[in-house]
Amino acid sequence: MPRVKRGTTHVKRRKTLLAKVKGYKWGRKNLIRLASTAVIKAGAHAFVDRRKKKRVNRGLWQIKINAFARENDLSYSKLINLLKKSKIELDRKVLADLAVNNKEVLKAIVDSVK
């Protein structure tokens, strides 16, 4: 069996690793051991934060909807309850967008529900 030299694959692997850590501070950007742990940790944080982003955004939508509801003499929970009872199935993302950009449209929806 012929001998296989793996220099090119070894160099390529290190090169792609260092490309991933471009912009990191200190030795994590140019030392292989530190860079590999940095990439693993960054990937773990990215995975968690992709899920956390959904939680954070939902909270922001609720705050925007509540601010609109308070302007119209309602609370957030009462507004959502009215919408559910009248079978208006707008999700919180759309409601928040309407509350910020198209207040007249959302006001018309709320008035029809009341």
- pLDDT per position as a tens digit, 67-100: 999 999 999 999 999 999 999 999 999 999 999 9
Residue 1 lies in a domain: no
> Count of domains in the chain?
1
Does 88 reside within a domain?
yes
Record the pTM: 0.78
CB 112 within 8 A of CB 85: no
Separation of alpha carbons 6 and 20, rounded Å: 22
Q: Which domain holds residue 52?
A: 10-113
* Residue 94 structure tokens: 């759309």
Domain contains 3 = no
Is residue 103 over pLDDT 90? yes
Asked if 110 and 72 touch (Cβ cutoff 8 Å), the reply is: yes
36 CB burial (10 A radius; 0-12, 13-18, 19+): middle
Q: Do the domain assignments include residue 2?
A: no
Residue 52 within a domain: yes
> In this prediction, what percent of the chain has a pLDDT beyond 70?
100
Per the rule left: phi > 0, alpha: psi between -120 and 50, beta: everything else, 84 is alpha
CATH of the domain at 92: 1.10.1900.20
Contact 95, 57 (CB under 8 A): no
| Residue 107 covered by a domain | yes
pLDDT value at position 1? 86
pLDDT exceeds cutoff 90 at 114: no
